[in-house]
């Protein structure tokens, strides 16, 4: 067998081996894994952000939003624990209503939150109330989250009345925000009826990290 024949034999043997390894069932499995990856990431690799410039008037309009609902997923990680859940957050002029499904060992929690009042209803029917929202939220979530500021951060603006270090890209989109000792990154946006709102934000503090992915916005008011 000459060198050319030997090389051809090697290539032929490897090709047959590859065919045996990459069985159609294996290809289907790989396809399933890829689909699962896309589902978990909401196919963000293929998401195209709106190509438009954001100006100060656009940002001012975000502060005037009095009512909104977001539906998505939340992940929180601290030094002691980490968890992920589905979230629906409804905000109006008087209060916030949050439904969180997944963690807490019992599957869900419903939260009613106003300036000086919080009510938490767990999946087993247990109810907790307090005039100190921050304390009870910490007991539930395991981390201390600046919820007053987060109401604005999720819209892609800083908490009004306090100093903030902000970074915009060439189109005027807010990409990074530092405020109250927290850092907020905005890797993804989406067009919601002509308004540019975050699709994904990452909030990092000294002892905790929060990631929020918004699958659906409903803005009114």
**Region 189-215 average pLDDT:** 93
Residue written as tokens 């045996």? 20
Output the pLDDT for position 103.
Answer: 58
Supply the mean pLDDT for the chain. Answer: 80
CA nearest neighbour of 205 among 141, 112, 117: 141
pLDDT, tens only, 76-128: 998 887 889 999 999 998 899 999 987 554 468 899 999 889 999 988 889 99
Sign for the pseudo-dihedral over CA of 5, 8, 9, 10:
positive
Q: Kindly indicate the confidence band of residue 27, based on its pLDDT and cuts at 50, 70 and 90.
A: very low
Residue 6 has pLDDT above 70, yes or no: no
Tally Cβ neighbours within 10 Å of residue 65: 16
Q: What value, to the nearest 5°, has the Cα angle with vertex 167 and ends 164 and 169?
A: 155
The pairing of strands 208-220 and 82-91 is unpaired
Question: Distance between CA atoms of 30 and 24, rounded to whole angstroms?
Answer: 10
Tokens linked to 19: 């065919």
Output the pLDDT for position 32.
Answer: 38
Output the pLDDT for position 166.
Answer: 97
Residue 178 has pLDDT above 70, yes or no: yes
Residue 56 has pLDDT above 70, yes or no: yes
Contact criterion met (CB below 8 Å) for 166 and 177: yes
Residue written as tokens 């438009």? 52
Output the pLDDT for position 45.
Answer: 39
Residue 156 has pLDDT above 70, yes or no: yes
**Region 170-176 average pLDDT:** 93
Tokens linked to 189: 């946006």
> Which domains are seen in the chain, by residue range?
3-44 (no CATH), 56-220 (2.50.20.10)
Question: Distance between CA atoms of 123 and 111, rounded to whole angstroms?
Answer: 11
pLDDT, tens only, 132-150: 998 888 888 878 888 999 9
Contact criterion met (CB below 8 Å) for 201 and 213: no
Contact criterion met (CB below 8 Å) for 186 and 203: no
The whole model's pTM is what?
0.76
Question: Distance between CA atoms of 66 and 155, rounded to whole angstroms?
Answer: 11
| DSSP code string of 100-159 | EES-TTTSEEEEEEETTEEEEEETTS-EEEES-HHHHHHHHHSS---HHHHHHHTTTSPP
Tokens linked to 10: 């090697």
């Amino acid at each position: 067998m000459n060198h050319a024949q030997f090389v051809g034999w090697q290539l032929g043997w490897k090709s047959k081996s590859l065919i045996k390894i990459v069985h159609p069932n294996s290809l289907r499995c790989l396809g399933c894994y890829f689909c699962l990856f896309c589902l978990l990431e909401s196919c963000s690799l293929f998401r195209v952000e709106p190509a438009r410039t954001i100006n100060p008037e656009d940002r001012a309009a975000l502060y005037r939003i009095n009512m909104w609902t977001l539906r998505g997923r939340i992940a929180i990680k601290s030094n002691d624990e980490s968890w992920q859940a589905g979230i629906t957050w409804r905000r109006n002029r008087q209060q916030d209503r949050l439904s969180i499904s997944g963690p807490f060992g019992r599957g869900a929690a419903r939260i009613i939150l106003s300036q000086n009042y919080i009510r938490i209803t767990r999946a087993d029917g247990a109810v907790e109330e307090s005039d100190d929202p921050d304390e009870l939220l910490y007991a539930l979530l395991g981390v201390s989250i600046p919820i007053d500021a987060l109401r604005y951060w999720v819209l892609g603006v800083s908490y009004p009345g306090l100093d903030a270090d902000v970074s915009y890209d060439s189109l005027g989109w807010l990409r990074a925000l530092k405020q109250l000792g927290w850092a907020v990154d905005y890797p993804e946006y989406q067009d919601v009826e002509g308004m540019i709102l975050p699709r994904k934000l990452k909030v990092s503090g000294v002892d905790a990290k929060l990631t929020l992915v918004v699958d659906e916005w409903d803005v009114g008011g």
